[in-house]
Copies of this chain bind each other. A is one copy, B any other.
Amino acid sequence: MNLDNSGLHNLIATKLDEVGQMYTQKRRELVDALSQAGPCTLPELLEFSDGIAQSSAYRNLTVLEEMGVVRRLVHHGEYGRWELSEELTGHHHHHLVCNSCDVVIDVELQTHIEHLMDEEFERAAKGSKFAVDRHNIDIVGTCANCQETTQA
């Protein structure tokens, strides 16, 4: 599979360079996997990447998270999940979360709904003097695969 992630990679390389971090092959592989596959667990990332050690994967993801390159998601499955940061991809999105197999799928909502929600979230937070930063929405249910499986 040939990915053209050169734009993405250049962006990240610059970002890491600014703070004296290296954008190594292993780190590129993690980013490639995430850009292909969407939110991934660590075992999934280990499959994609070629022979990276578990501890290195965790460490690199932590570094990349601190740099704002990736974001860690936490749901009910046994593993955490990682995705490219919105800051990097430029796509604000939310998640379909299957409560049968724990898979996570990206979705985008219509802009005018996002605006309405932002306004309402601000209003709702005001009562608690809570300063809103961002919002995460999980649409929970059953993915297409699991619907088929349970019918069989």
Contact = CB atoms under 8 A, between A and B. Distances in A.
Instruction: Choose among A117, A120, A144 the residue with the greatest number of B CB atoms under 10 Å from its CB.
Output: A120
A141 interface: yes
Contacts of A120: 109-110, 113
Interface stretch (A27-35, A44-52, A68-76): A68-76
Interface stretch (A10-18, A83-91, A128-136): A128-136
Contact of A130 (B127, B130, B141): B141
A147 B129 contact: yes
A60 interface: no
A141 B136 contact: no
Interface in A97-143: 98-99, 105, 107-110, 113, 116-117, 120-121, 124-125, 127-143
17 contacts: A74-B76, A94-B124, A96-B124, A107-B125, A109-B124, A117-B117, A125-B141, A128-B143, A130-B139, A130-B141, A130-B144, A133-B141, A135-B138, A136-B137, A136-B138, A137-B137, A137-B138
- Top 5 nearest A-B pairs (CB, nearest first) are A133-B141, A129-B144, A132-B141, A136-B138, A107-B124
